[in-house]
Structure formats: structure tokens, C-alpha cells
């Protein structure tokens, strides 16, 4: 199963979850979006020559206030640690979008396929 499939399965249990951007017209809040930002094939010493794929995915949590976004972001991290083989999680800058009036808590997760 791919990292993105597993990630989606874990996050959709917490809030409405969308790849890349939320569906147009959605009013689901809080919500989570994610996007694959990089990936690389890494050699392994298993002898099969296939290696492993390491991917980095940015996860953005959107809510009407920052404490709610931060809380859901923490829940998302816990869910992803439980669901994936995680290499590292890195915080990204938080944000506020004045046009949507939504707060964002964001992080990158590095995981292995």
C-alpha cells in the first residue's frame, strides 16, 4: 500500500481530508489537505536490488482558530506515527488566510514505502 493511501486512511478518521486542495465549495471544518512534495528511491542491502522509496508529504490542517488547527495537527501527527514508517516530521510556518479566514498548522512528514 502506498504512503499516500495509508496517510489518507489515517487522516480521514480525524477530519475531512483532501489531496492537494479541498473540493470547491466544501464547508467541512476543520479539514486536512496534503500533497507529496518530494520522493527518492534509496538503495537497500536486502539483496533484491529494489531499494525503498522515501517520500515527503506536506500536511496542512485548516480551522477557524489557531488552537483548533494546532490541536488537530497534533492528532494528525500521532495518527501518522501509528500508521506509517516515519523517518521525520518537520514543522512548517503556521499561517492565516485572510480571504478564507482560516488558520493553518502545517508539517512535513517523511515516510517510507
What pLDDT tens digit does each residue of the chain (113 aa) get? 688 999 999 999 999 999 999 998 888 999 999 999 987 776 666 655 566 788 999 999 999 999 999 999 999 999 999 999 998 999 999 999 999 999 999 999 999 87
pTM: 0.88
The cell numbers describing 54, all together, are 522515501
Q: Which domains does the chain have, with CATH numbers?
A: 3-112 (3.30.2000.10)
Contact between 64 and 79 (Cβ < 8 Å): no
With CA atoms as reference, report the closest residue to 8 among 68, 73, 86, 84: 84
Amino acid at each position: 500500500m502506498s504512503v499516500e493511501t495509508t496517510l489518507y486512511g489515517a487522516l480521514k478518521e480525524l477530519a475531512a481530508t483532501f489531496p492537494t486542495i479541498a473540493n470547491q465549495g466544501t464547508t467541512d471544518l476543520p479539514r486536512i489537505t496534503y500533497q507529496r512534495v518530494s520522493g527518492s528511491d534509496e538503495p537497500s542491502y536486502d539483496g533484491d536490488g529494489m531499494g525503498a522509496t522515501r517520500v515527503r508529504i506536506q500536511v496542512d490542517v485548516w480551522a477557524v482558530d489557531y488552537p483548533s488547527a494546532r490541536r488537530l495537527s497534533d492528532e494528525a501527527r500521532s495518527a501518522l506515527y501509528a500508521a506509517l514508517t516515519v523517518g521525520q516530521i518537520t514543522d512548517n510556518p503556521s499561517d492565516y488566510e485572510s480571504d478564507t479566514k482560516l488558520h493553518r498548522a502545517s508539517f512535513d512528514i517523511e515516510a517510507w514505502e
